[in-house]
Amino acid sequence: MWGIIATWRMAHDGIVAASEQLKNSGKAGDAAETCIKMVEDYPYYKSVGYGGLPNEEGILEMDAAYMDGDTFKIGGVAGIVDVANPVSVARSLSDHKFNSFRVGNGATKFAQLEGFERKNMMTERSKKMYDLRLEEMKEKGLSAYDGHDTIGAVSLDQSGSMVAATSSSGLFMKKAGRVGDSPLSGSGFYVDSEIGGAAATGLGEDLMKGCLSYEIVRLMGEGMHPQEAADKAMYSFHHKLTKRYGKAGAFSLVAMNNKGDWGVATNVEFTFSVANDKEEPAIYIAQMGDDDKTIIEPITQEWLDAYEKRIKTPIDQLGK
């Protein structure tokens, strides 16, 4: 038995590669890291790693985490810059008993001292998008916080070990040092190999109000199927936050238990990719259901074509 699930269509190539590893007795940690590194490395995904979108000062600050479900060890970075693969830095930190969550300059310093690949993570495309947004804000006074598509993955290997990991460049145009849920245990991710794991994407400021990843794992521990656990945790908090805070931001969560069964809950349109020993890697699209049950359908070729076209819009056509 093995499996891996991750947030957004962008995860799919990584899911395909990681599932080959898991099929061939690869480790859960290697599979999760492979999946996320592929997203970090791909220049057309604008919310994770290389080609991500910067903060309001034009600095691309990134957050990432790694959690081992066998031992609960966690590594995390927040506000790290100029490093090719934040998830690998987080994984390395998870081996430290102390100082395993590092932020700002201290995180970047650790990555440099340890020899992680240094890289200017801005591309010509992300620079152009930043310039366009600055102009737009000057003209229309927009304060637009869109774009918070974190990659979050949960993997299970044939030995029964599970890992959860995340990586994100956070909100486009965020304030310097802003951190969302991605590197925060319980909110952005959680995993227990004896139960299962979950990972989140959406508005970090609201996700950390609910500790939804922890709650989904806990509910799976009570015996719920991942789909039931994800729907119950996400929708009940969506309703609670709407009532108490006035509005709930975007929440999307993926979950997998230690048998490779999976589930997803969302309150927006949300794509994801999943594979296990019974199901070939596939992309799905999910939406909020009326009865607090997420609606999940296979992705269409039409959707994929439109997505491909959108992310690869020629740079001179951006903003037109």
Binding site, by residue number, is 178-181, 201-204
**Which of the residues 131 through 150 are near its own copies (CB under 8 A)?**
145
By CB under 8 A, residue 104 contacts its own copies: yes
Nearest residue to 172 (alpha-carbon basis) of 206, 211, 131: 131
Cα distance between the two ends of the chain: 48
DSSP string across 98-119:
SS-EEEHHHHHHHHHHTTPPB-
User: Should residue 78 be labelled a site residue for its own copies when binding is judged by CB under 8 A?
Assistant: yes
Pairing of strands 196-202, 262-266: unpaired
Q: Characterize the bridge pairing of strands 3-7 and 295-298.
A: unpaired
Q: Choose the catalytic residue: 150, 166, 271, 294.
A: 150
Tell me the per-residue interface mask from 162 to 201 with its own copies, x by CB under 8 A, - otherwise. ---------x--xxxxxxx---xxxx--x-----------
Cβ nearer to its own copies, comparing 78 with 296: 78
What string marks each residue from 244 to 283 as x (binds its own copies by CB under 8 A) or -?
A: xxx-------------------------------------
Three-state DSSP at 148 gives coil
Query: C-beta of 300: minimal distance to its own copies in Å?
Result: 33
Q: Which DSSP state fits 118?
A: B
Which tokens in the block code for residue 21?
């590893």
Q: Verify whether residue 150 is a known catalytic residue.
A: yes
Inter-residue contact 133 to 144 (CB < 8 Å)? yes
Q: Tell me: does residue 205 bind its own copies (CB under 8 A).
A: yes
Task: Give the list of residues 6+ apart from residue 305 with CB closer than 8 angstroms, or none.
Answer: none
- Applying CB under 8 A, the residues found at the interface with its own copies are 55, 61, 70-74, 78-79, 96-107, 109-110, 145, 171, 174-180, 184-187, 190, 203-205, 208-211, 214-215, 218, 241, 244-246
Active-site residue set: 150
